[in-house]
């Protein structure tokens, strides 16, 4: 769900649904909501001894 929020936000910007003045709002939403949730998913993945899922989630959170 965290990744969906970021994807929809950036897609709306690129498709012109949101105006250029909303770029800061979308970027802030991604930093505040998506990054921590993806980091938490990475920690849970590593805690469940699933290094592939943990690494994938950590890569997405870092990017």
Question: What are the sequence ranges of the domains in the chain?
Answer: 2-62
What are the tens digits of pLDDT across the range 8-37?
A: 999 999 999 999 999 999 999 999 999 999
- Mean pLDDT of the chain, nearest integer: 93
Closest CA to 61 of 3, 17, 10, 1: 3
pLDDT band at 5 (very low <50, low <70, confident <90, very high): confident
Residues near 20 by beta carbon (within 8 Å), at least 6 away in sequence: 13
Task: Tell me the two tokens of residue 21.
Answer: 């003045």
Q: Which residue has the tokens 């943990």?
A: 54
- Calpha distance 50→57 (Å, rounded): 11
Q: What is the pLDDT of residue 3?
A: 86
């Amino acid at each position: 769900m965290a990744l969906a929020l970021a994807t929809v936000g950036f897609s709306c910007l690129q498709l012109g649904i949101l105006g250029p003045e909303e770029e800061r709002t979308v970027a802030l939403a991604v930093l505040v909501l998506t990054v921590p949730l993806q980091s938490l998913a990475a920690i849970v993945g590593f805690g469940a001894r699933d290094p592939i899922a943990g690494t994938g989630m950590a890569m997405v959170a870092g990017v």
